[in-house]
Amino acid sequence: MTLTSKLTLICQVVVLVACLSAVTLSQTTQSPQPPAVNGDKAAPSPEKARSDDSYVIGANDVLAINVWKEPDVSRSVTVRSDGKISLPLVGELQAGGQTPRQLEQTIAAGLKNYISEPEVAVIVSESKSQKINILGMVSRPGAYLLTSSTTILDAIAMAGGFKDFAKKKSIYVLRANSDGTQKRIPFNYNDVIKGTNPEQNIRLVAGDTLVVP
């Protein structure tokens, strides 16, 4: 074996020994992580899931009502035409016109005589009351879920904006009167975005129909 071959072999052995030493040192200096033990995990807190706090409950809405650790009281209920619901221990409650958070507080107050510090969650599982219709020259006409703060401009944005050739000065809202008739509320988009008639950008109510000719 030539001198060059011997030197090459020696270098390779030195490099191999150095690599093995580095790996061994790394393994001994790293402290092993203890495995997770299910029993050490804290139990999940009874954080209450809520619906949108701006949503106003109405007739025919389906509500999922959960009372923490009280399965006999927890249940799914449908809001009656008079806006009321019935629950064990509490009896009849006015749900219509309240937000889910407000109804949670109402139910909790009624349960305090029977349950110590009741934790109540109200979720609107099916919304069948608070809807508006958006028709005409918009990108996505149809029925949309209404919140208490939805304005005409919000509704136009929800529907994806205008199509080409929409008559932005001739938009109107059809709203039902208490006597069964309808009134027509005009909305001039061009004026509103210029700040000329901002009062036309009214809040919509359940059952309104926004028409974009």
What integer best gives the mean pLDDT of the chain?
A: 82
Give the pair of three-digit tokens for residue 21.
């030493």
Check residue 14 and give its pLDDT: 52
| pLDDT per residue as tens digits for the range 145-162 | 887 689 999 999 999 999
Please state the rounded mean pLDDT for residues 57-78: 94
CA 91, chain centre distance (Å): 29
Check residue 180 and give its pLDDT: 84
Check residue 55 and give its pLDDT: 81
The residue with greater pLDDT, 118 or 44, is 118
The yes-or-no verdict on residue 73 having pLDDT over 50 is: yes
pLDDT band at 18 (very low <50, low <70, confident <90, very high): low
Element housing 131 (H / E): strand 131-136
pLDDT band at 49 (very low <50, low <70, confident <90, very high): very low
- Please report, for the chain, the start and end positions of each structural domain, with discontinuous segments joined by +: 62-126, 131-212
The yes-or-no verdict on residue 32 having pLDDT over 50 is: no
Check residue 192 and give its pLDDT: 97
The b-or-e profile of 51-64 (16+ CB within 10 A means b, else e) is beeebbbbbebebb
The yes-or-no verdict on residue 172 having pLDDT over 80 is: yes
90 touches 111 (CB < 8 A): yes
Check residue 54 and give its pLDDT: 75
**What CATH number was assigned to the domain covering residues 131-212?**
3.10.560.10
| pLDDT per residue as tens digits for the range 105-115 | 999 999 999 99
Q: Flag whether the pTM goes above 0.75.
A: no
Question: Going by DSSP bridges, is the β-strand pair 75-78/62-67 parallel, antiparallel, or unpaired?
Answer: antiparallel
149 touches 157 (CB < 8 A): no
**What CATH number was assigned to the domain covering residues 62-126?**
3.30.1950.10
pLDDT band at 8 (very low <50, low <70, confident <90, very high): low
